[in-house]
Amino acid sequence: MTNDAQKQHYLKLQQLLMELPWYVDEYITFKKRKLSAASLLNYAHDYKIFFSWLQTNNSHSGHIKDISLDLLETLTVQQVEEFLSYLQYELDNKPVTVNRKLSALKSLFNYLQNIAETRDLKPYLNRNVMAKIEFNDLKESMETIANKMEGKILLGDEYEKFRMFIAHEYGQLNKDNKKLSNFHTLNRERDTAIVSLILGSGLRLSEIVNLDLEDIDTNKYCVRVIRKGNKEQYVFFSKLAMDDLKEYLAIRSSRYHVEANNKALFVSAPMGPKGKSRRLTARAIEKLIEKYATAFGKPSLSVHKLRHSFATRYHAEINDVPKLRRQLGHSSIQTTMIYTHIRNDDLKSAVDRMDIPKDDIE
């Protein structure tokens, strides 16, 4: 599997750390073995927002890089609450996003108080204000979250309808638009394979983007991915996904003029003066899903919602939460439990049939 995406995240992380205080850099280094470059980059972005706010609201006239540990130690609960209000009401962050940013800050402050040590073995911070701050109380139950998700994912026969729409019907729908029709003719095998693989495995967008040819095991119907936390895992996918992948692989090299050293599984049409194909980017995949979803009449569909769709169907078929958790690569089983609350048409039908007298069932 390629490390190109991780390298890009790492380079962006290093650039961002140059703007932040030295102890943030030290903390990020401490976490490198446990978190992916993408996660660490998100942490650094959160810290920049916090330190920029401190600079504006706490009479720090210098660069945010120069904000001292002394300033952190003297922060009051009221000041931190003001920052959290700023996130929610001025930056329009949802309560769950505020909680995520607060979690990042709590982790940093915990490191400064309980893990990091000076040369004379004293903590960097004697007082940790973040330990006094409570998370937002997210009142939505798993069932409420699941119900909201239900209208935005594929259920029942929509799985196959959406796949067939991409493979064939989208082209028919746009046959009078030469540009759209030609573009669909060029990419329909690739796009069908992408959607089929997500719906047949539940892989994340980043995992799909980073796939190389050598990661696909065509005999065992599984794929090698690097999950969150840089953990290697072999993830199974459906036979239908394998069939669609084989159709795409049969035309990949010739249609996209792929050079021998390009090992990316999913590639773009040749671009640039030299006409080279490149690894398909995350944004390109997001846009193609958005395009098909809108034309299909379900504009709320996204790559992540396709992953949710897989998880819902898997649970309906297998009803094994630990196995689903492993398949999705969730670190917490609580996240996986959401799918046990989604009402699937297949499940509803089965329950409804329980009320029918046995003599009436053909």
Cβ atoms of residues 130 and 162 within 8 Å? no
Cβ atoms of residues 199 and 159 within 8 Å? yes
Annotated catalytic residue 308? no
| Of residues 227, 221, 228, 224, the one with CA closest to residue 196 | 221
Instruction: DSSP for 36-53, please give it.
Output: -HHHHHHHHHHHHHHHHH
Burial class (CB in 10 A: 0-12, 13-18, 19+), 102: buried
Cβ atoms of residues 174 and 180 within 8 Å? yes
The single residue of 227, 255, 298, 330 carrying the catalytic annotation is 330
The single residue of 65, 152, 228, 278 carrying the catalytic annotation is 228
Annotated catalytic residue 63? no
Q: How many residues does the chain have?
A: 362
The single residue of 27, 47, 124, 339 carrying the catalytic annotation is 339
The single residue of 279, 307, 315, 325 carrying the catalytic annotation is 307
Annotated catalytic residue 358? no
Annotated catalytic residue 119? no
The single residue of 9, 204, 252, 279 carrying the catalytic annotation is 204
Annotated catalytic residue 304? yes
Cβ atoms of residues 241 and 197 within 8 Å? yes
Annotated catalytic residue 228? yes
The single residue of 291, 304, 341, 343 carrying the catalytic annotation is 304
Q: How do 216-217 and 222-227 pair as beta strands?
A: antiparallel
Give the residue numbers annotated as catalytic, written as ranges. 204, 228, 304, 307, 330, 339
